[in-house]
Structure 1
Amino acid sequence: MLFKKIHVIKTSWRICIGEGANKIIPKFLEELGISSSLIVCGENTFRLAGRKVEKNLIKNGIEASFALVEKPDFENVKKVWKKAKIEKVQGLIGIGGGKNIDVAKTAAFKLKIPYLSVPTIPSHDGIASPCSSIFKEKKKLSLFLEPPAGIVVDMNYLSKAPLRFFSAGAGDVIAKYTAVTDWELAKEKKNEYYGEYAGKISSLAASIIIENSSRYKEDYKSAVRLLVEALISCGYAMSIAGSSRPCSGSEHLFAHAIDFLYPENQALHGEKVALGTLIMSYLQGKDYELIGKTIETLRLPRNYEEIQIPKEILVKALIKARKIRKRYTILDEVKIKEKSEAEKILKKVDII
């Protein structure tokens, strides 16, 4: 089946990284032929960066308004979509973290217009990927849409992001350690398409973050820059593969199961997938102790107490993860069905 499925590899047209990079946004929009835009962000992000972007756009002759996002769900996507339709904007600008960018990405796809990804925190590989995670009631849907037309990373904001967001972004990258192994397993067992090049890109990103997990202690700016490059590389890997396979495997299924069972949890996406990576690396027979040490070095939650999710939820999530979506992973090999099995695994990796 290697060459039977055809997909178009779409990647971002422009990427700008550096201090004061947000000043380049009007030029990006001009080059894209966009003269009217809608800024998609949260209240805090609008105060932090959105207002400045809006003023700069207007100063450069580009119409700009904004839509405030509360949650990454279809209600908020609909709100953005409606406002963009009424105002007849030609492009969206998602500013902030994964929530805002995913809503902008999904609304832009529905509107069939381009969007820019303008992260203010390095917490999520969605800043460069065609993938979006949107809630439909209790269930989080993983959508494969379009990559951003442009990515603007202003290091003035990201280098000042709290450590927790940096660590969560690193957690999302080290998840590729198990995601690629799951993808290889699906090729072996189900003859699923496996893109070696995309897999290598994701694996390299994970290796670099693992090897440099302590860099932030000595040079935070340099560590953030390295993380941003890894996150963007992961986005490209997904575009090349035509799916989220290089970056999302059993560890993400575990995180999504937590969200389904315990939607009120306050853990960041990268924190949950990092914990999932620890579990799945053990099940895959990989160096789970290395992952455990990396999690500790990055000051990510290492157990149920630190991540503030009840033991029983984590046990149920490990059982349910295999059924969250149709994606062959190590969980289809081990088939955890009993509470006692799940507890034994979680105890083995010192999560409970």
Structure 2
Amino acid sequence: MTEVKCTCSKGCHSSPLEGYIISSKAIIELPRYLEKYNNIFIVSDERTYEAAGKAVEDIIKANGKHARSLILKGEVLPDSKTLGEILIHSHNPYNNSNVFEFSPLPDIILAVGSGTINDCCRLISFRLHIPYGVVATAPSMDGYFSAGSPIIFDGTKQTVQCTTARFVIADLDILSAAPYTMLLAGIGDMLGKYTGILDWELARDLKGEYFCETIAANVLAATDNCLKIARSIEERNVESISEIMKGFLVTGLGMVYTENSRPASGSEHIIAHAWELEDIEKGVMPPLHGLLVCEATRLVSIMLQMLLEITKDQLIKDLIIKYIPSLKETSSVCRKINIPSPIKDRDRIIRGVRRALTLRDRYTILFYLRDCLMLDCFAEKAADALIREIG
């Protein structure tokens, strides 16, 4: 358990994270993190098994540990089907006199993958009271160090508070080999922190919500670093990948320390979830989460600039002005490195904004605009501007 003193109203933050490593050849350090575990249940999908799962399995067995792998087939969603499959396979019904054979439940669950695999393993770990660790395969999202799992159930996507990983292994050689769109998704997810922290400040100022200056400042500094290296991401250099993963670390720990997802997400993430749900309801695999977050960030940025032009509320003016330089640079970088914008249909963009209000009772700029009777007008005009911007 890690504890950090803070000047915020909590006074102290804690996390069960025992360690992490972000470096080239990091995977060879895996035995050190698994030293106190004998029976390891590895969860991957077909792609992540090839990227890292097979190597992980070989390393574990070479060190005298027992490893059993579940390789999820096809496109994997964070839903009851995937959760059920992991839950069923986590239990070994066969008795064996060999003391090194699996006990009915593993000592630890090892997630080898990125978003969905990590989210599902986290929830199963929490429900079974079994620790879990992560071997990251792509720098595509900020959930590696998070304690919350966005899960699809009852026709919507809700974040279930669980626990955080005991350790995260981020091998930069593996991460830099990830598909390029996943690298862009990672950048996109990090750039969403600007509007997310703005929303958090707004909730503090207008609703008296808890706010940690230190965590917010750390997240913004990490986001600034990602913005600086974004233009070089195409080169796949390990320094750029490392900055993204460090950003995920800062953001994830911020969520654990505050016990909510405010440090990582605001209106942009909720709009992205709304777009995802529309695809899921149609039986379509959603685009990468980070790409949707990035597009929603650009959409919210346009609405913020529209609001700045007309508002007479000095508090709102000062808040938006504080973030305008970063938001403008974000849009510029997105155009420069061609981060894909998956949602190009005007009506769907607007539906995402409207639906976002129903998905989470979290005060954001969307609720402010709704209360000012401006949301529909802003959503329509911002959608038009975004479509012009993304072509």
Q: TM-score, normalised by structure 1?
A: 0.91
1:276-299 deviation per Cα after TM superposition (whole angstroms, max 9, x unaligned): 111222333443432211212332
2:54 matched to 1:17? no
**Aligned partner of residue 9 in structure 1, secondary structure:** strand
Q: Which residue of the partner structure matches residue 77 of structure 1?
A: 83
What letter matches 2:82 in structure 1?
A: N
**Aligned equivalent of 1:294, options 328, 333, 336:** 333
Structure 1 unaligned residues grouped into runs of 5+ = none
Distance across 1 between alignment mates of 2:233 and 2:88: 42
Letter in 1 for 2:362: R
Structure 2 residue matching 1:284: 3-state secondary structure: helix
Segments of 5+ residues of structure 2 without an aligned counterpart are 1-7, 93-103, 306-319
Secondary structure of residue in 2 paired with 1:95:
strand
- CA distance, structure 2, for counterparts of residue 220 and residue 13 of structure 1: 28
Give the equivalent residue in structure 2 for 1:278.
298
Query: What is the identity, as a one-letter code, of the residue corresponding to 1:103?
Result: C
The alignment status of 1:98 with 2:98, answered yes or no, reads no
- Give the RMSD, CA atoms, in angstroms: 2.2
From the superposition, tell whether residues 218 and 76 of structure 1 become closer, same or farther in structure 2 (CA, over 3 Å): closer
Structure 1 residue 78: Cα displacement: 2.4
CA contact (8 A) 2:266 2:364 kept: yes
Q: Of residues 16, 29, 34 in structure 1, which corresponds to 2:34?
A: 29
Inter-CA distance 218–96: structure 2 relative to 1 (3 Å threshold): closer
Contact 1:319-1:337 at 8 Å conserved across structures: no
Residue in structure 2 matching 1:163, options 180, 184, 187: 180
2:137–2:170 Cα contact (<8 Å) kept: yes
In structure 1, the residue matched to 2:313 is none
Residue aligning to 1:198: 215
The aligned counterpart of 2:363 is 328
SS in structure 2 at match of 1:124: coil
- Identical aligned pairs, as a percentage? 26
Structure 2 distance, partners of 1:309, 1:116, is 37
Letter in 1 for 2:245: V
Distance apart, 1:229 and its partner CA: 1.2
175-184 or 72-81: bigger deviation: 72-81
Contact 1:322 1:332 in 2 (8 A): yes
Matched residue count: 344
Q: What is the CA distance between 1:225 and its match in structure 2?
A: 1.4
55, 64, 71: which one pairs with 2:67? 64
From 307, 310, 314, give the equivalent of 2:349.
314
2:157 to 135, 140, 147: 140
Q: For 1:6 and 1:85, how far apart are their aligned partners in 2?
A: 40
Q: Deviations over 1:91-145 (max 9, x none)?
A: 0011112111111111111111111111111001111221221111531111222
In 2: Cα distance, 1:292 partner to 1:142 partner: 28
Gap change, CA 1:341 and 1:17, over 3 Å in 2: closer
Residue 211 of structure 1: how far off its partner (Å): 2.4
Partners of 2:378 and 2:59 in 1: how far apart?
Answer: 57
Structure 1's 268 and 217: CA in aligned 2 closer, same or farther, altered over 3 A?
closer
Whether the 8 Å contact between 1:126 and 1:235 is mirrored in structure 2 is yes
The residue number in structure 1 matching 2:3 is none
CA distance in 1, matches of 2:278, 2:375: 17
Aligned to 2:50: 47
Q: Contact 2:40/2:108 (CA < 8 Å) preserved in 1?
A: yes
User: Which residue identity is paired with 1:270?
Assistant: G
Asked whether the 8 Å contact 1:72–1:135 carries over to 2, the reply is yes
- Maintained 8 Å contact 1:7/1:242: no
SS in 2 for 1:213: helix
Q: CA deviation at 1:11?
A: 4.4
Q: Give the TM-score normalised by structure 2.
A: 0.82
Separation (CA, whole Å) in 2 of partners of 1:217 and 1:256: 27
CA distance in 2, matches of 1:90, 1:217: 39
Relative to 1, partners in 2 of residues 1:217 and 1:301: Cα closer, same or farther, differing over 3 Å?
closer
Counterpart AA for 2:20: I
Moved runs in structure 1, 4+ residues, more than 3 A?
5-8, 336-341, 349-352
Q: Is the 8 A contact 2:192 2:294 kept in 1?
A: yes
Distance between the aligned counterparts of 1:190 and 1:15, measured in 2?
Answer: 36
CA pair 284-344 structure 1, distance change in 2 beyond 3 A:
closer
